[in-house]
Amino acid sequence: MVPTESLLHKTCYFGITELRSLGIYVPQPEIHVIDNFPPPYDTSPVSALTIGPNADTILKGGLYFLRNDVRPYYSSFLLLHELVHYAVADRDRNIARGLEEGIAEVVGSLYLAYKYMGTSVARRIFTYNRLFEADHTLWDLYLDYTRQAASLYLLTGLNGVANVLQGGRGQIKAVEKAYSLGTLPSSPLIPEWDSELTKLVHSLVLGYVPHMVVSPMAKYLSRFVRANLSVRNIIRSAGVEEHLGERALVELAESARVIALSPDLTLVTHSDCELVQPSLRYSTPG
Ligand SMILES: [Zn+2]
């Protein structure tokens, strides 16, 4: 067994133990690291997938990881998400989607992941792998449902979410239907929250600003921008070509709206670059 595979087993043991302590029974899955997913799974853009324990499919029950995508930490992060699917796949062969994906994110990719690898590593992995700038409906939907699961968590507590998971996919779908009808979910339990998970949910899922994305040059230049600095000084400090620097500053002013420029475009009159710089992201064309 290669080191990362034994790490996955260790992560799996941790995840099962934690989920059971929330009252969610998860059978022990087999873990498979394979070169390619067979059809019909080969068209999926994911690096890991779950097949329910009693599934009647080409793949037998277990958690599957693509060999080329296996990484320390990242694969553990994925495994903890997949375990949530495995917990509810037992009783219902429906596909995993919708709110179930969101709950797998909140309970697996945030709660279990922060407990397993620490808040700062879990936060980074979530940021780089879930909050990337993507114009891709599937990943956008994941985030939409993660917000729905975050709402469920904040309304009903971690014990409320666990209670829904205990009810399996049917219960998850009933909650998703409530959201779809515009009614709020309720729980028979007095809500109990985990303070660290609450912080992660607020900062990464609810308080996160998905559209604060600029070009690489604007992102770079934002480090040098301060109010009352001249455009020429900023461009000189950054050491970039003048016309590229000017274009990036106009972008920061007009697209991201984090700075204001004087009418003749020679002076930065207002700037919030210092404020947004840590979370400002860039995208590359294509
Ligand atoms: Zn999933």
Q: Ligand 1 mean position to 139 CA, how many Å? A: 11
Q: How far apart are the CA of 235 and the centre of ligand 1, in A?
A: 44
Co-location of 8 and 86 in the same domain: yes
Q: How far is the CA of 103 from the centre of ligand 1 (A)?
A: 9
Q: State whether 40 and 181 are in the same domain.
A: yes
Write down the pLDDT at residue 183.
93
CB-proximal residues (5 Å) to ion ligand 1:
101, 104
**268 token code pair:** 């930065």
- For residue 41, the enclosing domain spans 3-206
Say how many Å lie between the CA of residue 244 and the centre of ligand 1: 41
In 73-129, which ranges are E strands? Answer: none
Ligand 1 geometric centre to CA of 81 (Å): 6
pLDDT of residue 92: 62
pLDDT category at 95 given cuts 50, 70, 90 is confident
pLDDT 10s digits, 22-70: 999 999 999 999 999 888 888 888 889 888 887 777 778 899 999 999 8
Q: Ligand 1: distance of its center to the CA of 149 in Å?
A: 13
Q: Are residues 126 and 251 in the same domain?
A: no
* No. of helices (H) and no. of strands (E), the chain: 12, 7
d(CA 273, CA 251): 13
Give the total number of structural domains in the chain: 2
- Enter the pTM of the model: 0.87
Confidence of residue 131 (pLDDT cuts 50, 70, 90): confident
CA of 164 to the centre of ligand 1 (A): 17
Is 204 within 8 Å of 132 (Cβ atoms)? no
* Residue that terminates a domain, selected from 177, 206, 235: 206
Rg over alpha carbons for the chain, rounded to the nearest Å, is 22
